Structure 1
Amino acid sequence: MTSRFWWIFLLIGLVAVNFLASVFHARLDLTKEKRYTLSKATRGLLRSLEKPVRIDIFLTGDLNAGFRKLANSTEEFVSLLKDRNSSKVQYRVMSPMEAIPGSSRLYRDTLEALGAVPINLTDQTETGASSNIIYPVALVSYNDQQELVRLYTGNERFVSQADIVNSEAAMEYEFARVIDQLVSPRKPFVAYSIGNGEPMDARTYGIQEALDKDYRLALLNINSQPVNADTFDVLLMVKPSLQFTESEKLKIDQYVMNGGKLLLFIDALIAEQDSLKMNAATIAYDRNLNLTDQLFKYGARINPSIVMDLQCDFMPFVVGGTPENPQREFLHWNYYPLFEPQANHSITRGLGLVAGRFVNSIDTIAVEGVRKTVLLASSANSRILSTPVRIDVNENRNAPQDASFQKKDIPVALLLEGTFTSNYRHRVSNAQRDSLTAMGVTFRDHSEENKMIIVGDGDMALNDVSPTNGPLPLGVNIYTLRSPYQYQFANRAFLLNCLEYLVSKPAISETRNKNIVLRLLDSKKVKENKRSWQLINIALPILLVVLAGIIYQYIRKRKYAE
């Protein structure tokens, strides 16, 4: 009787445990970097959902090991989202080659129309090379709106294991950012300044293309129009060439004091590659933009100097031949440095090389209440040339003297955060106050918590223009086009990351700080101890089974012999 009741209680207990497990979900994250823990911002975002969110994952098919790992990580992460709000989050894994229900179109067509970039995975097999087109994206649908989530954030042409790991680390940010955009669909307003000789030609195509989807972009002449922080979220200033008046500087200053964000790409020197087409040498000299005192007050100074770096892009140079038939060769051009982004901030985490041209160094100034973060800096083999600078194409006929490139980590892009003090504090006139009032701006001598980004290169945000192909993608060097050295650098991603950080919710931006450590085996030790590990993993389990069988037979024989 007792035995019967024991089985009944056990059955009831199993049913109860299964019922509770189906209702309540719990997970213990023991990873050091909290890989399976959602941030507070993401949890709050999921709680605020009023309508269901559907996530379609299209990273499927014949994947290599790296993308298979990324696909598994994606499904694990989305399951975390569903566990947080199972009634509002649904997901499924789909093939991009499936037809859309009720239509003859494939999901692939919709993904490409939304901006998805397919990746051609090429693998060597016994029968030859095989290729497979994959779409490393997810499609998030909410309230009759759809947005793509990039599951792979690296370079599509050169897939690496490090890029796979960085993509896993950025996954929470990518999903949180897209869901937040769908829940709060307002597009930030970016004002492109045109009051001081900023480019307005085809070189700005890359900016327009990058901002077209997620931002509203407008031209703003700060000389004749008001600069109102209530209207524009970001004031984008790219390569101004004319001196700023005090009236213009006051507008910019009060824009910052009232909460507006600045993104500046400034060339302090006049140094252009076109000047070297006519002459073998040119002199770079100060533009005298009259911004030094204002930026100094905020905590930065763009120096009238040029950064040269051994880590740089290529340029074609004439190295021999005749005037009628010159012999050209691609050589490193130290005035085109390539910056490896600092991994200390979410803006640059996981970003590839960013290309610059005739870049100016930036100094940080000790200002109370302002925090500085270096976003881009030179390599360990760089130098600074102070103005006036003579730039000569003949420098590349001989290898650069490495002994001259002894400086390292020269800042060229800086993030400033904190409370800024007005450059016109205690010195604004009544006439200036009246002019601000007429534009609907109230003079303030300091700001609330604010942020701005200053870059010592105007060309970093501009694209090249080919006479035959028109505007090139941002980050592509026209001089290496259709050469073995053609490459698209991460300038576009850097521009977008800067804008996203300036306008996005701080809590969501912080989700980019998640870091996943790639813990690889020591290949040297693996090779040295290969035989030992093979014995441990193959022979030892067999020996243990045989030994257990011998002991069992011995015990059994003794037991029944007695």
Structure 2
Amino acid sequence: MRNIWVIFRKELRIFFDSPIAYIFIITFLAFSNWLFFRSFFFVGQISMRDFFFSLPWTFLVFIPTVTMRLWAEEKKIGTIEVLLTLPVKNYEVVGGKFFASFIFMLITLGLSFSLPLTLYLLGEVDFGPIIGGYLGACFLGAAYLAIGLFVSNLAENQIVAFIIAAVLSFTLFIIGENIVLATIPSSLVPLLSFLGLGTHFTSLQRGVIDTRDLVYYLSVIGFFLFLNIQSIEARKWSQRISSSTNLIFLVLIVLGFLGIINYLASRHFARVDLTQNKLYTLSEASKKVVNRLDDIVNINCYFSKNLPSYVISTKQQVSDILDEYRAYARGNIQVKFIDPTEDPALEQKLRFMGIPQVQLNVMEKDQATATNVYMGIAVTYEDKQEVIPFVKNVNNLEYEITSSILKVTRKEKKTVGFLAGHEEYSIYSDYQTVYQALRRQYEVKQVPAQTIPADINVLVVAGPHQLTEQAKYEIDQYIMRGGKVIFLIDIVTVPQEGGIRATYRETNLNDLLENYGVRVTKNLVLDRFNMLITFQTGYTILRTPYPFYIKVIKEEKGFDPDNPIVNQLNSMVFPWVSALEPLKETHQDLQFTVLVQSSRYSWLQKGIYDLNPLQEFMPQPEDTRSYPLAILVSGKFKSFFADKEAPPPPTPEGKEQAQRPPIIKQCEKDNQIIVVANARFIHDNYADLPGNVEFFLNAVDWFTWGKDLIGIRSRIIMDWPLPFLTERQKSTIKFINIGGVPILVALFGVIRVYFRRKRTITLENLK
């Protein structure tokens, strides 16, 4: 160990005594940080995902630059023979050089600390993927260093060493990527995917520390260091054929040993999920659901054997997730993977079950062809069955599986009704995304306003116009009986052809809502935190911030931190939303929870509704404050018709007028309603915006299952939006990171080189 330490110190000192090392560090930092900030503010996410995406490719150039001199320079100046005749072992020389270059790489990588520090100062950030990304970068960089060190020993000069090391590192990185896997036989895909350096880096970059990835990287590093040691030894007996033969056998033995180690690691592994919301670990809600199972649930995964290369990893990820389900189910979950293509009768059965063959594109012999595959899942309990027709990716798979288990094991069927008959949004044309999401867990139907069936668990009133007194009576009595209602209210009608003037939309619902403690104002809310929109004016296409598209973000206290409906959301967008006013003074017996509110930089547009995106949005500072956008009201509601005459019941033509049952004047037990000052946010045009659909589905789940599903769905939202920044602030951030840190490194280098040369001159003068 002492010899390794001596060589380590010598090599590290050589690095930092040379101006080239500082040029290397400065160039690496400036280039990497410039690549990161090129899209950072445009994407608008507090994340280092883009930095780690480009880092492996940056390493392919910079790390061979570090390693190319480690042996080649020794050969050039003729010191390698002297080094090898010293009383040190080969592994000590290789170890000293490797650890010196590794520490140099760590210092260089560590100087990018300004990036996570900047993100932390900008707002809330998930440090799990950042820690995982840096750890992955350390292992990937160490693998590149081991490769470069080995190549440097074989090459006669530095340029050749650089080129061969870069090409070999690139080859080992790219062989596991989809661009290569798509061109090879499917039988080789699992092997090459495992051998690819990039495959394991991607896993760590997500924020998941998997022992399989660590063992793989240690194997690659150890193997190339072993080759380096043996190549040094081979110089001593380069003409002896028997020794060369022994080396080949020794290399094969080491490869076999490492193969066995990695096989065992793949069978017995551990994973640590560093992400803030534990995105890649089974949630507590799912654990509780499967732990409560009283009988066996069968999960059959129908996957074709010959899948295209770019979806093979999906099958493995599905298997990993289901292993976790089995671990917590106490033997009550059984999982099978079945290839339907081997059984024509099974294929016909799957078509009736709703699991179709899906056509995917593959590359064969430089041509794009189509192949039909199965990638579906069936969850069965007793005589009930739910299917997931096609597993496109695993981002939402936990929610799909857990909701399917709930649906087949729950004795009661929950129903969500959407009020119809007053120009409300339709679940079949306007809310198709929400409709499809709800159908996975609920019975969903439209409800006529004449009478609300007793089997409706949650009623949604979405954007009504001119609600009749009969409809108001039915809604009121439904609430008095303990029914849950979600009111989604639009106060303006926006021209579909893109006009810049909106008109007031009369809902005839305000008096009913005010009876329950909430007033919907006739003002539109604007906010400095908003979305960029693209629109055309003449022949010009413009992209500009649009304050009418409010972006609610967690960092601006936009969500109630204590309510499960919203406390795991990071952002959502409301287009043309009005403000709500809780009437606390006149309804002191009710409890009000502001679920969602605008930022403190929002203001109101009163009177006319001018939607022109080119107008000047210049609010006065004293006019800006937060406004409630969604409110949860709880308590024993009093009927709107408690002291009014109820409207006559609807009577079919030709029949006598029916008698109404007595009016229920107050809820017997505490009840809840949710009022949202917008109905467009879950329209299909806006359903793909992060948080929008999730907020609505969480509200439905809250009124039906409670907390069972909310935590699962909300944690898949990976939106960490940037706060509002002026152009000057953006320029300052760019300068500090792209120029400031490299300038500090340059100053340190100049000072160190100056004092080193001064000391050298002093020593020479003393002689």
- Fold match, TM over 0.5? yes
Tell me the residue number matched to 2:430.
203
Residue 177 (1) aligns with residue 403 (2): yes
- Shift in Å, 1:494: 3.7
- Shift in Å, 1:314: 0.8
Tell me the residue number matched to 2:632.
415
Residue 52 and residue 459 in structure 1: after superposition, are their counterparts in 2 closer, same or farther (change >3 A)? Answer: closer
Higher Cα radius of gyration = 2
Residue 434 and residue 446 in structure 1: after superposition, are their counterparts in 2 closer, same or farther (change >3 A)? Answer: farther
Residue 317 (1) aligns with residue 539 (2): no
Are the equivalent residues in 1 in contact too, given 2:702–2:710 (CA < 8 A)? no
Tell me the residue number matched to 2:517.
299
| Letter in structure 2 aligned against 1:451 | Q
Tell me the residue number matched to 2:482.
259
Tell me the residue number matched to 2:496.
274
CA distance in 1, matches of 2:667, 2:299: 45
- Shift in Å, 1:227: 2.5
Are the equivalent residues in 2 in contact too, given 1:313–1:337 (CA < 8 A)? no
Residue 89 (1) aligns with residue 326 (2): no
| Letter in structure 1 aligned against 2:474 | K
CA distance in 2, matches of 1:432, 1:297: 21
Residue 475 (1) aligns with residue 686 (2): yes
What CA deviation, in whole Å up to 9, does each residue of 1:302-339 have, x standing for no partner? 22111113312413131x6xxxxx32323333223333
SS of alignment partner, residue 702 of structure 2: helix
CA distance in 1, matches of 2:446, 2:692: 22
What CA deviation, in whole Å up to 9, does each residue of 1:362-388 have, x standing for no partner? 2233345644444433345432223x1
Are the equivalent residues in 2 in contact too, given 1:147–1:178 (CA < 8 A)? yes
- Shift in Å, 1:52: 3.9
Residue 512 and residue 187 in structure 1: after superposition, are their counterparts in 2 closer, same or farther (change >3 A)? Answer: same
Are the equivalent residues in 1 in contact too, given 2:582–2:592 (CA < 8 A)? yes
What CA deviation, in whole Å up to 9, does each residue of 1:12-68 have, x standing for no partner? xxxxxxxxxxxxxxxxx9x9999999869965764453444336497999799x989
CA distance in 1, matches of 2:300, 2:693: 27
Tell me the residue number matched to 1:74.
321
What CA deviation, in whole Å up to 9, does each residue of 1:243-285 have, x standing for no partner? 543x4323211100102111221112x34133753xxx42544
| Letter in structure 1 aligned against 2:540 | Q
Q: How does 1:77-476 map to 2 (within 5 A)?
A: 77-82=324-329, 84=330, 86=331, 88-92=332-336, 94=337, 98-99=339-340, 102-103=343-344, 113=354, 139-147=378-386, 171=398, 175-184=401-410, 186-199=412-425, 202-222=429-449, 225-228=450-453, 230-245=454-469, 247-268=470-491, 270-274=492-496, 276-277=498-499, 281-282=500-501, 284-285=503-504, 287-310=505-528, 311-318=530-537, 326-340=539-553, 342=559, 344=561, 345-348=563-566, 351=569, 353-366=571-584, 367-368=587-588, 370-379=590-599, 381-386=601-606, 388-393=607-612, 395-396=613-614, 400-401=617-618, 407=624, 409-416=626-633, 418-424=634-640, 426-429=642-645, 438=659, 443-463=664-684, 474-475=685-686
CA distance in 1, matches of 2:624, 2:360: 39
Percent pairwise identity: 17
SS of alignment partner, residue 550 of structure 2: strand
SS of alignment partner, residue 495 of structure 2: coil
TM-score by length of 1: 0.59
Residue 489 and residue 475 in structure 1: after superposition, are their counterparts in 2 closer, same or farther (change >3 A)? Answer: farther
SS of alignment partner, residue 457 of structure 1: coil
CA distance in 2, matches of 1:151, 1:363: 44
Tell me the residue number matched to 2:177.
none
| Letter in structure 1 aligned against 2:443 | R
Residue 461 and residue 235 in structure 1: after superposition, are their counterparts in 2 closer, same or farther (change >3 A)? Answer: same
Tell me the residue number matched to 2:174.
none
Are the equivalent residues in 1 in contact too, given 2:603–2:624 (CA < 8 A)? yes
SS of alignment partner, residue 77 of structure 1: helix
CA distance in 2, matches of 1:290, 1:51: 51
Residue 353 and residue 41 in structure 1: after superposition, are their counterparts in 2 closer, same or farther (change >3 A)? Answer: closer
What CA deviation, in whole Å up to 9, does each residue of 1:87-134 have, x standing for no partner? x32235x48xx4366238789x879955999999xxxxxxxxxxxx99
Q: Runs of 5+ in structure 2 lacking a partner?
A: 1-271, 362-371, 652-656, 719-736, 743-767
Are the equivalent residues in 2 in contact too, given 1:340–1:376 (CA < 8 A)? no
Residue 348 and residue 242 in structure 1: after superposition, are their counterparts in 2 closer, same or farther (change >3 A)? Answer: same
Tell me the residue number matched to 2:294.
49
Residue 76 and residue 369 in structure 1: after superposition, are their counterparts in 2 closer, same or farther (change >3 A)? Answer: farther
Residue 442 and residue 178 in structure 1: after superposition, are their counterparts in 2 closer, same or farther (change >3 A)? Answer: farther
Residue 330 and residue 37 in structure 1: after superposition, are their counterparts in 2 closer, same or farther (change >3 A)? Answer: closer
SS of alignment partner, residue 396 of structure 1: coil
CA distance in 2, matches of 1:105, 1:454: 48
TM-score by length of 2: 0.45
CA distance in 2, matches of 1:58, 1:272: 47
Are the equivalent residues in 1 in contact too, given 2:355–2:376 (CA < 8 A)? no
Are the equivalent residues in 2 in contact too, given 1:419–1:447 (CA < 8 A)? no
| Letter in structure 2 aligned against 1:260 | G
SS of alignment partner, residue 632 of structure 2: strand
Residue 102 and residue 68 in structure 1: after superposition, are their counterparts in 2 closer, same or farther (change >3 A)? Answer: closer
Tell me the residue number matched to 1:499.
700
Residue 72 and residue 113 in structure 1: after superposition, are their counterparts in 2 closer, same or farther (change >3 A)? Answer: closer
| Letter in structure 2 aligned against 1:216 | E
CA distance in 2, matches of 1:495, 1:449: 22
What CA deviation, in whole Å up to 9, does each residue of 1:499-536 have, x standing for no partner? 23322x225246559979x9xxxxx9xx99xxxxxxxx
CA distance in 2, matches of 1:309, 1:112: 48
Residue 493 and residue 424 in structure 1: after superposition, are their counterparts in 2 closer, same or farther (change >3 A)? Answer: closer
Residue 447 and residue 63 in structure 1: after superposition, are their counterparts in 2 closer, same or farther (change >3 A)? Answer: farther
CA distance in 2, matches of 1:370, 1:116: 53
Residue 178 and residue 44 in structure 1: after superposition, are their counterparts in 2 closer, same or farther (change >3 A)? Answer: closer
Tell me the residue number matched to 1:130.
none
Are the equivalent residues in 1 in contact too, given 2:297–2:379 (CA < 8 A)? no
- Shift in Å, 1:181: 0.7
CA distance in 2, matches of 1:274, 1:510: 34
Are the equivalent residues in 2 in contact too, given 1:271–1:358 (CA < 8 A)? no
Q: Runs of 5+ in structure 1 lacking a partner?
A: 1-28, 121-132, 321-325, 464-473, 477-486, 519-523, 529-562
SS of alignment partner, residue 356 of structure 1: strand
SS of alignment partner, residue 578 of structure 2: coil
CA distance in 1, matches of 2:622, 2:521: 18
CA distance in 2, matches of 1:142, 1:48: 10
CA distance in 2, matches of 1:117, 1:349: 37
Paired residues in the alignment total 429
**Higher share in strand:** 1
- Shift in Å, 1:182: 0.4
CA distance in 2, matches of 1:140, 1:179: 7
CA distance in 2, matches of 1:314, 1:38: 36
